Structure 1
């Protein structure tokens, strides 16, 4: 039982680190569009790098164990694009926000209702994608910690590091769109709670049914979702609210930070 509580505690720590990122919105001036641009670019860099370098690779490794190198690679690739199709369909089906009275202007240069709606919608989509991403991550952290506490600690810290900019990805656009710090923190906090939720469900429901195939398909799909969100929402908005090179610098910085965090805990 102590081992189970320890594993759950690690998962909770990793998930709630999104709150550190969301808290950064509290110290950001609403008129600082350069911060918004570089933060969104940074978050996109983190998402793209971890999706293609870490999550996709882990998914492929799991599926190749079951189906072999060739078929496992095909299934991983198919699952990746199914994840993209899934979030793209949701993107089309989600209705426009119909409560403009709840949305405040960013500043004189962004007093555009459509801009604020787009920011809020992007933040909510990011929260949704990150929650989906965090769910299997929570399960992976929990299972790893049960089998090997040392390995669980390494994975939890690596996930916590990249959950910080993921918290920014949710909280900053929502804060800039609404001017509401509490709402920004709440959505970021809730997206992080998906991680311990994954651990709880994994322990009570899925431990008997989770196999390499299910794990691989879920992870590959999540990688596709994260890449779609980055390319369709984060980067276009980063460029819209700042200079092209500022967004790209943020993107590269996000990739570098994510790469270093993975190397530290490799």
Structure 2
């Protein structure tokens, strides 16, 4: 059990590497921000459509009388996840919701104090929401890593490596906007680190409370719903914030790079 927990801690702790990269040096340049956010969006989109949603559909199909019904339930859970995070987003009052703005905040706009303040508020909320969603995603991910390591530590090693690889850009995606919004390296570092530590927490929580329930339809629905949440956050939070830097090509290249990183880790598995 100790080995399984340590492997899960290692996977979640890789977020710290991304957090450190996000706060080293200036860490606030437009290109750094664009690459960090675009990279994480690519990872999240790819893992959502190519891993989480299919895995959820597979689990639900095995629990149902037909594959078609299981797939339909997974799709329903996927859009339920999108609806949940969208409703939470709309509950934020418009005057303080950093998503409700007119036009892109470019360098010429940030020269004005009010525009700079709004820009920092948007970046801070992006980092906070990303950290919360990634922590939510990391809970079942941590439990899955822990369970596989309990069964066979040797088989869990490539899983840990894959999760660690995609946790690095996750750490960057949290740390960079928070660093730019607050000017605090320590706040950015620890917020990103804590989002990754949700994985060992998920391992302990799952072992104590959820083991009897997460081996069936609930796990499938959770995976598909998490995919929906991650897709919404990528499209509504990460990519708009990345595009605001004005580094369009850096965003696109890093988005594709994030997908390639995640594709490579899945192929290794």
TM-score after normalising by structure 2: 0.90
Shift in Å at residue 109 of structure 1? 6.8
- Is the 8 Å Cα contact of residues 135 and 196 (structure 2) preserved in structure 1? yes
Q: Which residue pairs with 1:256 in the alignment?
A: 260
Instruction: Check conservation: 1:21, 1:166, Cα contact below 8 A.
Output: yes
TM-score by length of 1: 0.91
CA distance in 1, matches of 2:198, 2:137: 8
Looking at structure 2, the residues matched to 94 and 168 of structure 1 have their Cα atoms a distance apart, in angstroms, of: 25
The residue number in structure 2 matching 1:16 is 13
RMSD: 1.7
CA distance in 2, matches of 1:110, 1:246: 20
Query: Aligned pair count?
Result: 254
| 1:108–1:248 CA distance, 2 compared to 1 (3 A) | same
Note if 1:186 corresponds to 2:183.
no
Runs of 4+ residues deviating >4 angstroms: none
1:70 aligns with 2:68: yes
Could you say if the C-alpha distance between residues 110 and 194 of structure 1 is closer, same or farther in structure 2, counting changes exceeding 3 Å?
same
Query: Using the alignment, how far apart are the partners of 2:212 and 2:36 within structure 1?
Result: 40
| Structure 1 unaligned residues grouped into runs of 5+ | 99-106
Could you tell me how far 1:197 is from its partner in structure 2? Answer: 0.8
- Structure 2: 5+ residue runs without aligned partners? 99-106
Please give the alpha-carbon distance, in whole angstroms, between the structure 1 residues aligned to 2:28 and 2:219.
43
Q: Deviations over 1:18-52 (max 9, x none)?
A: 11001012224255211111221111101101111
1:82 partnered with 2:80: yes
**Superposition deviation, residue 207 in structure 1:** 1.4
Query: How far is the alpha carbon of 1:179 from its aligned partner?
Result: 0.9
Distance 1:62 1:37 in 2: 36
